[in-house]
Amino acid sequence: MADLKALYQEVILDHSKNPRNFHSLPDADRTAVGRNPLCGDQFTVYLRMDGDTIVDIGFEGQGCAISKSSASMMTQAVKGKTGVEAEGLFDRFHELVTGKPAEPEALGKLAVFSGVSEFPIRVKCASLAWHTLKAALEAKGAISME
């Protein structure tokens, strides 16, 4: 049976109630908006870059507990990383939430999202902010997940 406790872990609920880096960046040099039209979730991700390095990151918007906590924890995980490293982390994260973790140890705290793999419908929630980050890094501006 699908395990609710594994999905809604303490850390996840905490981040959904008190999201970190939950603000815009006035001096952002990259931003992107990500939408999930199915459930109305929408996040804007702001990046301040130094060369290829993400020196600061913030996000705004609304979404379910999974999408919001994922966005919050993502901002903590990628701050100080290069764009390439962040995208690499997204690949690991995606493997985790789709139940095919190749290198779970690389994920650190993000490993709490492993419970998502039992709820395939929620994979999009967990990865919305990451897709948005990727769009910002690639200067795409907006993405929509169907």
Partner 1 sequence: MATKTELLMDVGKVREDFPILKRTVHGKPLVYLDSAATSQKPRQVIDAVSDFFSRYNANVHRAIYELGEEATREYEGAREKVAGFIHARSPNEVAFTKSTTESLNAIAYGWGLKGKLREGDEIVSTVMEHHSNHVPWFFVQDLKGVKLKWVGMTDDGLLKMEDYDTMITKRTKVVTVTQCSNVLGTINPVQEIAKRAHEAGAICVVDAAQSVPHMPVDVQKIGCDFLAFSGHKMLGPTGIGVLYGTEERLNEMEPLMGGGEMVREVHLGSAKWNDIPFKFEGGTPNMAGAIGLGVAVDYLDGIGMDRVRRHEKELTKYALEALSDVKGFHGFGLDDVERRGGVISFTLGDVHPHDIASILDVEGIAIRSGHHCAQPLMERLNVPATARASFYVYNTPEEVDRLAAGLRKVLDVFA
Shortest distance (Å) from residue 120 CB to partner 1? 11
> Closer CB to partner 1, residue 1 or residue 102?
1
Q: Are 83 and 90 in contact (CB under 8 A)?
A: no
**CA–CA separation, 6 and 137 (whole Å):** 31
Q: Which is nearer to partner 1, 65 or 143 (CB)?
A: 65
Instruction: For 8-28, give one letter per residue: b (16+ CB within 10 A) or e.
Output: eeeebeebbeebbbeeebeeb
Q: How far is the CB of 138 from partner 1 (least distance, A)?
A: 26
Q: How far is the CB of 117 from partner 1 (least distance, A)?
A: 14
Question: Which residue ranges make up the site for partner 1 (CB under 8 A)?
Answer: 1-2, 4, 7-8, 13, 38-42, 62-68, 119, 121-122, 125
